[in-house]
Amino acid sequence: MTDALSLVDDWGPEKIVVVSHRRTGMKGVLVIDNTARGMGKGGTRMSPHVSVGEVARLARVMTWKWASVDLFYGGAKAGIVADPASPDKEAILRAFARALSNEVPREYVMGLDMGLTENDAAIIQDELGDRGTAVGTPDHLGGVAYDKLGVTGYGVAEATDAAAQHLGLPLAGSRVAIQGFGAVGHAAAARFAELGATVVAVSTAKGALHDPSGLDVPALLAAREEHGDDFVHRHPQGAVIPAGQELTVDCDVLVPAALQDVIDEEAAHRIKAKLVAEGANLPTSPQAQEILAQRGIAVLPDFVANAGGVVAAAFAMDARYSGFRPESPAIFRTISERLRANAVVVMEEAKRRGTTPHLAGRGLAEERVRTAMHSKGRLPR
């Protein structure tokens, strides 16, 4: 079991709140990592395997992500220990929201992460009787519907395109393999196809589909809509391969867009891509990052590549109490501009420092957070 005090370092966390509810069996945690640049903002996930340590790691990623795109919120994350498919999901979610009513929305605003949907965000608002308690609600309630719009996946493709061009690897005609075909992966595939890339592999928890000559992305999207994850075994095109093998197929760009910690040292030795763009949070271990760097494979960090969601969240935060819905074209335009520019800055800084994009990007984010902490008197004199 994680000792919460052992998680504290020079950056945070500032607050860890563990909550429970006997009748529903709800157990959960909120980690507010660093609020020097603004109040805590980050998604809420639901999984049977949520832990304090996991949520703290993700909250730290949010600290760097907000600072990296230069938006004025702080790192935070929440997690609920439950199966998202549980028939008691709504009762558990409502109990979790009530238990954090002291912190939400004054110190933290809930959002969407693994296991939660736009309707779940609406339930949180309903339970606490405040539109300001959650973002990511359906558009018919005035929210920014992240999953429906596909903002995170769109941003992954935009940032990857900019990073690839910087490396002298034009995305048009490049072969892209994507792990995960959920909210992030399917939207990324759609945008990659629009940008002229050839998607050669996609995967779900039930398996992966591979075709070296390229998959028909519109057909895959339609099959996913009709069959869910089972589309892998129902689709006539491509060969079905075991889940996980999509990481090591022959490709130019690899996008891990499913789970964290999927690229370890062993996998890093077998990856054939020239560029890895982290669509998921924390998919590549530090040891794997070093191995990939030694092999000349660039890695675009998660807090750069998948920051489209936080840009959209910033629009949603501004609109929580407004009677007007944020305009989608403005959201997509801002995601493209911010993520493309940031990807190039990080790649250039990595080259200038002779280090990895992860370390270069984190150094830039740390500098912004440290400056804010200094201005607010949060650092030792």
Write down the catalytic residue from 27, 41, 65, 77. 77
Active site residue 77: yes
pLDDT of residue 138: 92
**Mean pLDDT value across the chain:** 95
pLDDT of residue 63: 97
What does DSSP say about strands 298-300 and 207-210: parallel, antiparallel, or unpaired?
Answer: unpaired
Exposure letters 241-274 (e unless 16+ CB within 10 A, then b): bebebbbbbebbbbbbbbebebbeeebbeebebb
* Total number of residues shown for the chain: 381
Pinpoint the alpha helices (H) of the chain: 52-68, 89-99, 118-128, 146-149, 151-166, 183-194, 217-227, 231-234, 265-268, 286-294, 302-305, 308-319, 328-353, 357-375
pLDDT (tens digit per residue) in 128-172: 999 999 999 998 999 998 888 999 999 999 999 999 999 999 999
Can you tell me the distance from the alpha carbon of 28 to that of 45, in angstroms, rounded to the nearest whole number? 10
- pLDDT(1) > 70: no
pLDDT of residue 259: 86
pLDDT (tens digit per residue) in 237-271: 889 999 899 999 999 999 999 988 899 999 999 99
Can you tell me the distance from the alpha carbon of 262 to that of 271, in angstroms, rounded to the nearest whole number? 12
pLDDT (tens digit per residue) in 87-139: 999 999 999 999 999 999 999 999 999 899 999 999 999 999 999 999 999 98
**Alpha-carbon radius of gyration of the chain:** 20
User: What's CA 121's distance to the chain center, in Å?
Assistant: 17
- pLDDT(229) > 90: no
